[in-house]
Structure 1
Amino acid sequence: MNEELKKIYNYRRLDKVEIDGITISSAIKGERVKLSQRAFITSYEDGFDTIANQFCSLLSLSSASLNKCLVIIHEDNSADLYFNPPMTQIVNLKTATKKGDVITKKDIFDISEVFFKDSITDLTPQEVDKIIFIFREGFRFGIFYDFTKKNNIASLNKEIGNCYKKLHFYEQISFLREEECFDNITADGWFPFIALISSEFSEIIHLYQSEKEASKRNYFLEELFAKKFDSNKILSLTNNWWQKEQFSAKKKFIEAGINCFLEGNYISCLSTLYPIIEGIVGIDYFNQNGRKPKFKELVEYIQEKADIKYSCPNSLAYPREFYDYLNKVVFKNFNLETGDVDLSRHSVLHGYASEEDFNMTRSLQLILTLDQINFYL
């Protein structure tokens, strides 16, 4: 690497760095102790400060000014440090794009891989190298380390991508990791829809954390989304749909339902769009399998398509969770004897849904459900 590139990547070399693991339990001399050789830890976890300070001491780093540092330790224990390493991310975007387009964080809904290379330099570690990667996202820090000297480069890129994702989307991931939180939002008809990730979903999280009374929470959410999802926002979603043949074939029906939403006619909106979901997915299934699907097969087909398309670890497209959402919310059965008649495809099409359930929130949730399916197909 020439001197100019060393300046660009803020390069420094250490002649000797010896480290083979980090103890994760205490022991007196002679006792057995647990040793970690490969892990990812964030600044939200216990023990982070201890590990970070140990690395800073080992590598002669200043923690006060540290934002990012890639450390590659070679077989001879010499180490290359890059404080501005080249990085390329493989991400999923909410909208179509072309080469050279400017992208913001709000355009990204998932991160699947991170490479330590750019058009000039490739810093991909070798199989026998040890790695320390310290990085910052906002006020959050993460440290990934691997001292095993058994790097699988393909899986390493995905693992670093998963680490970056955990920090970038920390608020969302930590909230939804709690099963009760996920159940609470789906009980109200919400889901981490792709269209909301990196934008409105953070406001949903804050409301569920701060407001425990459902009626007040739903009122604030309706106020929020009434302002955010105006005609321009809705049309920005649907314009992406027409690129898929499955959606463009139903364009007149979909536009009729969308127009009803924009006019505040939620009864007509929901009555029009609920059967469209079945039609879009059912025709796609028929074209693939040569027969009409049973209802269970219809929902399973959506999940299968999503699993194939979003196969990266811990995908924020949430394919399997969406399968549950469809069964528990969109296609939920009703029971007249018990009075369990929530708004769903079945209660609407059979005429049992309550008039009060035909509202802006439920209509928007159905539009976002269609948008989610558009990403999966």
Structure 2
Amino acid sequence: MSKETPRPYSMPGAGIFVNNLGEPILLSGLQLDAVAAEAAQKGSSVSVWTRLSLTSDEAIFHRIARSLADHIEFRAREASNSVNLACADTTLLVIRPDNSGELWLDAAAVSINIVAKRSIEAGTLVFERDIADVTGMSFPMVQIGKADRVVCLFREGWRFALFFDFNPERKFSIVAMERDLGTLYRRLRYRKMYDAIANAAVFGHLVQAGWFPFAEIIGTEFEQLSLHCESDFDLAEVEAELVAKFDTKRLEKMFARWMAKPHFAGKERLLRSALQRYLADDPIPVLKIVLTEIEGILNDAHRKLYGTRAKQKKLLAFAVRSAEKKHGHPDTLMFPAAFGRYLAEYTFANFDPVQGGGTAGSRHAVGHGAAESDSYTQTRALQALLTLDQLAFFT
């Protein structure tokens, strides 16, 4: 999929009619209740999985997927249907309590639930550049009951994901399934971002240079930065290209996102001034304003929720908790824990005012007037704006 190819998305209450792409294959005799979690000899006890989600990056995936596919394909042949699950992009099997089932091979409508970077009208295209996060994946036109069981196998790029819930308690949770499918989709689609965060050397290089997979630049823009860090290339050229992409139109979209938040709106004049100076290629006032206002904005959000202000360490922990709670999972594309580390090690990095030597990326160095003058660059100004923008998604 190119970066301009629209992805389907869900908008509850939008009133858009959606239909499946085809009809399911009807099967019977689907005796799927568990998958062995370990090897065992005849007559011995064995641990089993009744619910699991995993990707093809895990070795056990291939054995489980092949075993499930063999059984499903066998039942399909019994029903006079020759199918090959390996050729399907999305396989959904819904098993009823009587062991009959509906097999949907690239035939069920799929909805991807996203967090959008901008306002979206029903019926308009959504591009990857509009997506800040993916929170769920569902099959809105397939009936799934509380006593049913589900197997879902899907492809994203050159990787696969598998989810099954054999529902031993007969209390199937649609919400939990959609959340777990969204997690799988997100991990496959944005694998490069997850790899960059997981690689200590690459992430350390990114943080040291002041970069993070900010919501505004996820996708190819961040991938270029990550690749340069992984390859130990000079970042100057790719940074200059990225800075040039933040024109008036793009910055105004970010500003509108900020002003939708009450704890940002009170800083409208200051933040408007920062954007104007950025567009004028004047990074010094941008950094002076933004880096000194971030803590105040976080404190306003904290006070709105808890009625009190907090010190810096608690504020950073508050930002991480807010993101996890708001987006429903600690490993969404917001990467709250990793962002907490970024804030601690870069934006609010420890600084000794006596020894000096700080850069304009550090709020403390800027606040003490101790940052080297040549460190006030347009690149660091953009990083500060993107840090502020990230907090708009968090709080």
With the shorter chain as reference, the TM-score category is 0.7 to 0.9
3-state SS in 1 of match to 2:244: helix
In the alignment, the residues of structure 1 paired with residue 191 and residue 65 of structure 2 have an alpha-carbon distance, to the nearest angstrom, of 19
Matched pairs, number: 365
Counterpart residue number, 1:146? 165
Is the contact between residue 12 and residue 80 of structure 1 (CA under 8 Å) also seen in structure 2?
A: yes
1:9/1:363 Cα in 2 relative to 1: closer, same or farther (>3 Å)? same
In the alignment, the residues of structure 2 paired with residue 163 and residue 287 of structure 1 have an alpha-carbon distance, to the nearest angstrom, of 34
Deviation at 1:6, TM superposition (A): 11
Counterpart residue number, 1:133? 152
Deviation at 1:300, TM superposition (A): 3.9
1:327/1:64 Cα in 2 relative to 1: closer, same or farther (>3 Å)? closer
**Structure 1 residue 271 and structure 2 residue 284: aligned?**
no
**Structure 1 residue 45 and structure 2 residue 58: aligned?**
yes
1:347/1:27 Cα in 2 relative to 1: closer, same or farther (>3 Å)? same
Is the contact between residue 228 and residue 235 of structure 2 (CA under 8 Å) also seen in structure 1?
A: no
**Structure 1 residue 75 and structure 2 residue 97: aligned?**
yes
**Which letter maps to 1:173?**
Y
Is the contact between residue 162 and residue 313 of structure 1 (CA under 8 Å) also seen in structure 2?
A: no
1:85/1:360 Cα in 2 relative to 1: closer, same or farther (>3 Å)? same
3-state SS in 1 of match to 2:59: coil
1:100 to 123, 127, 132: 123
Is the contact between residue 356 and residue 370 of structure 2 (CA under 8 Å) also seen in structure 1?
A: no
Counterpart residue number, 1:163? 184
Residues 8-23 of structure 1: pairs in structure 2 closer than 5 A: 8-23=21-36
Deviations 1:280-301 (CA, angstroms, capped at 9, x unpaired): 3334445556655433344344
Is the contact between residue 288 and residue 366 of structure 2 (CA under 8 Å) also seen in structure 1?
A: yes
In the alignment, the residues of structure 2 paired with residue 292 and residue 32 of structure 1 have an alpha-carbon distance, to the nearest angstrom, of 55
TM-score (norm 1): 0.85
1:201/1:37 Cα in 2 relative to 1: closer, same or farther (>3 Å)? same
Deviations 1:37-81 (CA, angstroms, capped at 9, x unpaired): 322232333243333333332222314521111112223222211
3-state SS in 1 of match to 2:332: coil
Deviation at 1:339, TM superposition (A): 5.3
**Structure 1 residue 186 and structure 2 residue 207: aligned?**
yes
Counterpart residue number, 2:136? 113
In the alignment, the residues of structure 2 paired with residue 76 and residue 340 of structure 1 have an alpha-carbon distance, to the nearest angstrom, of 72
Deviation at 1:369, TM superposition (A): 0.8
Counterpart residue number, 2:3? none
Deviations 1:287-324 (CA, angstroms, capped at 9, x unpaired): 55665543334434434443432223522222333333
1:286/1:11 Cα in 2 relative to 1: closer, same or farther (>3 Å)? closer
**Which letter maps to 2:152?**
F
Is the contact between residue 106 and residue 199 of structure 1 (CA under 8 Å) also seen in structure 2?
A: no
Deviation at 1:132, TM superposition (A): 1.0
Aligned sequence identity (%):
27
Is the contact between residue 189 and residue 329 of structure 1 (CA under 8 Å) also seen in structure 2?
A: yes
TM-score (norm 2): 0.82
**Which letter maps to 1:261?**
Y
Instruction: Output the aligned Cα RMSD.
Output: 2.8
Choose 170-179 or 131-140, whichever is displaced more. Answer: 170-179
Counterpart residue number, 1:356? 374
1:140/1:180 Cα in 2 relative to 1: closer, same or farther (>3 Å)? same
